[in-house]
Structure 1
Amino acid sequence: MLRSRGALVAAFLAVHLWIGLLGTVIIPTRAFWDVDLYRWWMWQGLHQGTWPVFSGDWVYPAGAILPMLLPGLVDTWDTRTYAVAWTVLITLLNAVAAWTLLRVTGRRAMLGIWWWLGFILLLGPVAVGRLDAVVAPVVVTALALALRRPAVASALLTAGAWIKVAPGALLLPLVMIVRRPWRQLVLPAAAVCVVVAGIVAAGGGLPHLFSFLGEQGDRGLQLESVSATAWVLRGLVDGGVRIWMNDAIITWEIVGPGTPAMAAVLGVLLPLALAAAAGLLLWVRVRAGDRLDHAAFLARGALLIALVLIVANKVGSPQFIGWLAGPVVVGLARPGRETVRAWRTVAVLVLVIAALTQWVFPIAYDAITAGIVGPSLLLVTRNVLLVVTLVVVVRDLRRMATGRSADR
């Protein structure tokens, strides 16, 4: 059954239909609240001429307008119609990514796609109903094409970065294995940036092009972030720790002794952590030399970067977990010499993390914001597993550098 393309197509449609039903019929306000915000922004643009970025600062990069606009061309008045159109868009993007992976790696890709469907099902509504759902298939496609078409991969990752920033960081492992990085990576990335900047400039929004970079600076410690874990635990027994809604950005944050300092430290720690990850990848690349399995290095390197972006971040939105899918999907497709066994531990850990994340949001989120012990401990467990997964990936990269198999 796992090798049947018919079964795979049926499962693909069933999973996306279920998530779509959750977001449009069963729990729309809890599951697809962000999607309705996208609809509202597009309504303002199409009917009032007030566009994000073009008319003022925005929390997202300018490229995010495009995926929000496409469903808006169907309807911006009715919440459900827009949400259905959004779900169809994500389904089509995921289908293109899966088809590309099958074309590149053949039947070996089927295990990765089956795993991806399980991941989407376990992660739940945020796997479709957030902007990050757009960049997930972009990452899968880029990583699948990276070794054969690095210029295309660079353009895709850069385009993804102009939608939700994070995909741009995945260029780090890719730049270490291509033969002509300037021609194959830098120029395609620069071309995409020039196109985006040119369009924004033509619309009069150039002063707001990088406004998204400053939107996160004043944020506190988000409740779901890994860095807030100690305060979540302390808050169960200490009334001095409180959870509150930051109405300016509509996000639950945790406040207590030391949280402002932690939020400030993380603003510096995140780029340092990314630099450390880049240093580790460079060491692996140099140490392994000609023995390096480029496909395995790229997938594991991308997963390392995604984990660092989550673990060292003061923001911990549930949709961030979707960043982990692309590297694991491509890793399980086995385009290199690695075996499925080498990815078994990481693949299982990420599935458990996805399941716990759906339980955290939307199932038990109200209880967590109220400081209820059981659901709060689920959040803590999820965060601990993220750190464990990061440690496992670092271990596997070290083994890759010394020529040892990751499955030993």
Structure 2
Amino acid sequence: MNEGGLTGERTSAARPPGVPWWATVALTWLVTRWAVLAPALADDEPWNHAETGDIRFYAAWLPVLWQGRFPADDQAWQYPPGAALPMLLPDLLADGDMTRYFHGFVGLVLLTDLAVFLLLVRAGARSGSVLGAWFWTFAIPLLGLICYARIDVPVTALAVAALVAPGPVLGGALIGVGTLVKGWPILLLAGYRRWRGTLTAGLAALAVTGLGALAAWAYLPGAFGFLEQQQERGLEVEAVAAAPLLLTRPLGSPLEVKYRYGSWELVGPHVDTALLVCQLGLVAGGLFLLACWWRACWSPPVLADFALTAVLISMVTSRVLSPQYLIWAAGLAAACLTRRDTSQRPVAALLLACCVLTQVEFPILWDGIFDRGPDVAVVVAVRNALLTWATLWAGVRLWRSTRGGRDLAASRPAADRCSPDSRMTVGTAGHLNPLDA
């Protein structure tokens, strides 16, 4: 077994002779998706569950969106303007019927789930690593039905497509589209080769995002109302910084849980301190990425490895950490695993454990959040501890794998050794964590 407990390249021993690896993983993908979706699709009102509740929000916003404006006066609207598209598309055939809208939305997400799978299969076939496709196949059912009731799988599909794109122009354009939908894909620019690669991908992303944002601002009222809502958000109960406070609630802490700005937040003593920790952690993470960029030599797996590390840092330092955020990490980890020379295999193993614990806390133990239950507080704390460990480990392994010193130079042909033009670059960001958007 290789490091981290993942055994991707040895799967041939478990397959019948003559059966290609992609057929085995494809059958597994079908079975796991049927297991997740069949109970929900058989329900008369499948949108009335905790993990599918956001689809009710999307349906409620449809009349406003079809009028050519955004529901900026609704505190739950926390999305960039491009997010309206995956919300509107399922309604083209639903014609206001909630059951058909639910089925259409789930169908759209399932198609993008399949797109990610096919991208990973293709990338794995080129590089000789089957781990990426297998990882994605199991990560989604470990997170559960919530994956098909949010817009995060389509955004992750854009991110994975950008990471496996044949060049920085297409990759940057896909990053731009993803940023228009949910903000965080902008972090993928971190791992492009400097200078030409970064400038090319960055300009492509800027062109797509800029033109889309400009069109939305000019023609669609309320396009940037989400920014004001984001600024007002507090500390979500599932955030990493909230875990110590959440553990005190079963012991009688005066902390309360209130629904504000589209999520359940902690309100009470020491919340401001936790928010300050988030800000300091984001600054520290940004400085680490900058230092890693400054000393690093670029190599093919760095793009995905750096993207995963950057997104994990943003996740653990964010004041908001919803269950569906694990979809992003799962997609990026799967992209890393399409290469044999990735540095992130043990990190991916930890992320699978985080996916399991995430489904345990939501929706299985979720009611305990309101009842001051100790079980859910412990599960959230353990999940967040593992996620923090995965982030630190990702950073350490990225640092080591991109070392630009004598050992790395000696192991490469002279033409491939680190030079000023082959160093990586990382984009800069403002004070607002991209995950908060």
- TM tier, shorter chain? 0.7 to 0.9
Contact 1:102 1:109 in 2 (8 A): no
- Of the three residues 155, 170, 181, the one matched with 2:198 is 181
Contact 2:236 2:321 in 1 (8 A): yes
Matching residue of 1:101: 120
CA–CA distance in 2 between the matches of 1:349 and 1:277? 21
Deviation, 1:109, is 5.1
TM-score (norm 2): 0.80
CA–CA distance in 1 between the matches of 2:220 and 2:64? 17
CA–CA distance in 2 between the matches of 1:56 and 1:233? 31
Matching residue of 2:206: 190
- Of the three residues 301, 307, 310, the one matched with 2:312 is 307
Matching residue of 1:351: 352
SS in structure 2 opposite 1:137? helix
CA–CA distance in 2 between the matches of 1:149 and 1:85? 33
- Of the three residues 153, 158, 161, the one matched with 2:176 is 158
Deviation, 1:25, is 4.1
Aligned pair 1:32/2:40, yes or no?
A: no
**Segment of structure 1 superposing worse, 91-100 or 61-70:** 91-100
SS in structure 1 opposite 2:235? coil
Q: Cα deviations across residues 62-95 of structure 1 (Å, max 9, x unaligned)?
A: 0001111110112152222112111111121222
Q: How does 1:192-207 map to 2 (within 5 A)?
A: 192-205=208-221
Contact 1:41 1:51 in 2 (8 A): no
Matching residue of 1:236: 250
| Corresponding letter in the other structure for 1:249 | Y
Judging changes above 3 Å, is the alpha-carbon distance between structure 1 residues 401 and 191 closer, same or farther for their aligned structure 2 residues? closer
- Of the three residues 260, 263, 271, the one matched with 1:251 is 263
Judging changes above 3 Å, is the alpha-carbon distance between structure 1 residues 116 and 177 closer, same or farther for their aligned structure 2 residues? farther
SS in structure 2 opposite 1:236? helix
CA–CA distance in 1 between the matches of 2:93 and 2:65? 14
SS in structure 1 opposite 2:324? helix
Judging changes above 3 Å, is the alpha-carbon distance between structure 1 residues 305 and 59 closer, same or farther for their aligned structure 2 residues? same
Aligned pair 1:370/2:371, yes or no?
A: yes
| Identity of matched residues, % | 28
Judging changes above 3 Å, is the alpha-carbon distance between structure 1 residues 203 and 307 closer, same or farther for their aligned structure 2 residues? same
SS in structure 2 opposite 1:314? coil
Contact 1:222 1:254 in 2 (8 A): yes
Deviation, 1:198, is 4.2
Aligned pair 1:338/2:341, yes or no?
A: yes
Matching residue of 2:327: 322
Matching residue of 2:227: 213
CA–CA distance in 2 between the matches of 1:139 and 1:379? 27
Q: Which runs of 5+ in 2 are unaligned?
A: 1-14, 409-437
- Of the three residues 292, 300, 311, the one matched with 1:294 is 300
| Corresponding letter in the other structure for 2:154 | V
Judging changes above 3 Å, is the alpha-carbon distance between structure 1 residues 273 and 170 closer, same or farther for their aligned structure 2 residues? farther
SS in structure 2 opposite 1:254? strand
CA–CA distance in 1 between the matches of 2:229 and 2:197? 35
Higher normalized helix content (fraction of residues): 1
Contact 1:3 1:110 in 2 (8 A): no
Judging changes above 3 Å, is the alpha-carbon distance between structure 1 residues 180 and 173 closer, same or farther for their aligned structure 2 residues? closer
Q: Highest relative contact order (Cα 8 Å, sep 6+), 1 or 2?
A: 2
Matching residue of 2:417: none
Matching residue of 2:28: 11
SS in structure 1 opposite 2:258? strand
Judging changes above 3 Å, is the alpha-carbon distance between structure 1 residues 43 and 6 closer, same or farther for their aligned structure 2 residues? farther
SS in structure 2 opposite 1:139? helix
Deviation, 1:121, is 0.7
Contact 2:191 2:303 in 1 (8 A): yes
Contact 2:117 2:136 in 1 (8 A): no
Judging changes above 3 Å, is the alpha-carbon distance between structure 1 residues 82 and 277 closer, same or farther for their aligned structure 2 residues? farther
Deviation, 1:229, is 0.8
Aligned pair 1:87/2:100, yes or no?
A: no
CA–CA distance in 1 between the matches of 2:266 and 2:74? 29
Contact 1:222 1:316 in 2 (8 A): yes
SS in structure 1 opposite 2:238? coil
Deviation, 1:219, is 1.9
TM-score (norm 1): 0.86
CA-based RMSD of the aligned residues comes to: 2.6
Deviation, 1:142, is 1.0
| Corresponding letter in the other structure for 1:137 | A
Matching residue of 1:141: 161
CA–CA distance in 2 between the matches of 1:45 and 1:397? 42
Judging changes above 3 Å, is the alpha-carbon distance between structure 1 residues 154 and 232 closer, same or farther for their aligned structure 2 residues? same
- Of the three residues 102, 123, 134, the one matched with 1:114 is 134
CA–CA distance in 1 between the matches of 2:220 and 2:269? 44
